[in-house]
Structure 1
Amino acid sequence: MPQSRMQLVVTGDDFGYCPRRNQGLVECFLSGGITTVSLLVNGSAAQEAAELAKRHSIPIGLHANLSEGVPMCPNLLQSTLVDHRGLFHGKMGFRRCLERGQLCLTQVEMELRAQVRRFTELTGQRPQHMDGHQHVHVLPGVRQVFAQVLSDLSIPFTRVPVEPGLHSCPWLQAPLRTFYRQVEQDALDSIPVFRKYSLRWPDVYLGLTTMGQNMSVSSLQRALSHALSTESSDGTPTEHLLSAELMVHPGYPSLPGEGGCGEGPDDFSQSPERQHELQVLTDPSLSTLYRSQGVQLSCFRELHTST
């Protein structure tokens, strides 16, 4: 057996989105394809998801959502965070409103705290890790509020989506590549803020280049190779067992009209790409790859990090 070179947390995002997402994520965990999940507390199947996590002892964190569906804080059903329908502004709509100065960051903080409260009600515990649905947690202004909330509530781990090898992926469509590069820049700008509040995150992040149809054992091998030959996200060499997070979205396609966070499932959730990820993550050859590369599957509480 090769010496362990990496501790890898494999996080299944969007737990609670719909019953079929929950089913796929649980199957993936039980088969060893993921090691933790990230819960959408405003997802239509969030309560079922929390019960499944308890039943199967699945490590669980919070997928903070400011962009899809309905707020958890009742005082924000009419606020700068929502449109005329009472729904969040969407992945790009949230970003546009933020850039125009149209969002009240005090309301962002209220909603984040409400989502942590709801997480605790559902699971009986505080989240060990907390990241952002559609990477909203690293956006300007939001990152400071997010870090303050995590610090105040003693939530130790977050996500810094800076992926080695992102700039050498010609197969990514141009709009997606542009979005990912902006996510990367926002994440880099978040590092000093997260450090100020003593937050922790794995040395390396993976998952942007391996989402949906782009996921395969070979693409994961490529991503791992980049990670194992790189420095940590803040540019300092790692002198210990490398820690990494792989973001994934396995599941079964949402049925039309079933699921979502208050406005029904989106196109990605109804596509076969979720099931494709599930099949790749449970492929026995992936376990063989992990062993050959000295990758040790872990959850957040087991991590040794330099941050």
Structure 2
Amino acid sequence: LLLTGSRFPAELLDAGGCFLGVWKLFFRVRRPVPAVLAAVKRELAQQIELVLDHGIRPTHLNGHQYIELIPAIAQLLPQLFDRYRIPVARSAVEPALLGSTVLAGFGPWLWLLGQVKRYYAQRQRSRLAKLGLAFPDVLFGTVHAGRICSTRLVQKYLQACGDAQYVEIVFHPGEQFRAGAVPASGGDQRWRDPLASKRPAEIRLLVSADLVQCVAASGRRLGRLQQLSPSASEPSPLPGQPACQG
């Protein structure tokens, strides 16, 4: 789910018509106008329907920059999960934050940010459980975008997950940014990728033998989020259509 575009109510954009940033968005929708929430709900629904229109059945749901943790937006999600029969959600409850931030040399700011995200993620997890949705037991990487560049941090994650059965690690990989990749005309010329210089290191790790060995040494194996829920791997009717019998 994405709220970082420019097609939203003016209340959710800055003076230049751009995304406010997740912190400003958080405070802007603390007491949201009903019309604004309705517009946000329509936009999120349209994003899911765009995926459906391409013949892809969403198996899980999460939000860019963890917007799903913002209380006003979180209250919209149960309707989306139910309407589109999406059985799996992201639950960004990250343990062992001290070891993966301050003790890993990233500084106290990331630890504080992780604590804030974990607080709201724990509240969200309770709601998800009541809805009967599935989610990973633990998640790592809530404050490490562009920083998971070696197996050192992955090893810390896997050591900290204890007996958790399903572990999600969030990467932000990408190819090397090339000058001229942004068209000279058309599109949003103000857009830039703050992780552009960091993404290549993460993608190199993802395709490396080192990562394969690291995961194998932990006694774990790769999986898919849809494995969390049997219904996620079964074909389901489009919203509004009856389920097939037999």
- Note if 1:207 corresponds to 2:130: no
- 2:109 alignment partner in structure 1: 175
Matching residue of 1:65 = 2
Q: What amino acid is aligned across from residue 277 of structure 1 in structure 2? A: E
SS at structure 2 position matched to 1:245? strand
* Deviation of 1:258 (Å): 4.2
* Pair 1:105 & 2:37 matched: yes
1:287 Cα deviation from its structure 2 partner: 0.7
Q: Name 1:276's counterpart in structure 2.
A: 201
Percent identity of paired positions between Structure 1 and Structure 2: 25
Task: Map 1:160-171 to 2 at 5 A.
Answer: 160-168=91-99, 169-170=101-102, 171=105
The residue type paired with residue 202 of structure 1 is: P
Question: TM (normalized to structure 2)?
Answer: 0.80
* Counterpart for residue 158 of structure 2: 224
Confirm or deny: 8 A CA contact 1:290 1:296 kept in the other structure.
yes
Deviations 1:9-63 (A, max 9, x none): xxxxxxxxxxxxxxxxxxxxxxxxxxxxxxxxxxxxxxxxxxxxxxxxxxxxxxx
Matched residue, 1:249: 172
Q: Are 2:145 and 2:171, in contact at CA under 8 Å, matched by a contact in 1?
A: yes
- Richer in strand (by share): 1
C-alpha distance in 1, partners of 2:26/2:137? Answer: 27
Whether the 8 Å contact between 2:141 and 2:171 is mirrored in structure 1 is yes
Answer 1 or 2: higher relative contact order, Cα 8 Å, separation at least 6: 1
**RMSD of the alignment, in Å?**
2.5
The answer to whether the 8 A contact 2:134-2:228 is kept is: no
d(CA) in 2 for partners of 1:258 and 1:173?
A: 33
Q: 1:135 deviation in Å?
A: 0.4
Q: Is the 8 A contact 2:151 2:211 kept in 1?
A: yes
C-alpha distance in 1, partners of 2:112/2:182? 29
Letter of the 1:148 partner, please give it: Q
Q: In 2 relative to 1, CA 216–102 (structure 1 residues): closer, same or farther, beyond 3 Å?
A: farther
**Contact 2:67–2:73 (Cα < 8 Å) also in 1:** yes
**Compared with structure 1, are the counterparts of its residues 222 and 156 closer, same or farther at alpha carbon in structure 2 (3 Å cutoff)?**
same
Between Structure 1 and Structure 2, how many residues are aligned?
222
**2: CA distance, partners of 1:288 / 1:186:** 34
Contact 1:116 1:126 (8 Å CA) reproduced: no
Where 2:120 maps in the other structure, the secondary structure is helix
Once the 2 structures are TM-superposed, how far is the Cα of residue 196 of structure 1 from its aligned partner? 2.5
The one-character-per-residue Cα deviations of 1:181-240 (angstroms, maximum 9, x if unpaired) are 11111100111221222221111111236532343112101101101x156xxxxxxxxx
**Aligned twin of 1:234:** none
Q: Does the CA contact (< 8 Å) of 1:203 and 1:243 recur in 2?
A: yes
- Residue from 43, 46, 52 that aligns with 1:114: 46
5+ long unaligned stretches in structure 1: 1-63, 232-241
Determine the C-alpha separation between the residues in 2 that align with 1:94 and 1:102: 13
Which amino acid in the other structure matches residue 215 of structure 1?
C
Q: 2:192 maps to which residue?
A: 265
Deviation of 1:102 (Å): 6.1
Which structure would you say has the larger Rg?
2
SS at match of 1:187: helix
Map of 1:126 onto structure 2: 57
Q: Distance in 1 between matches of 2:222 and 2:199?
A: 21
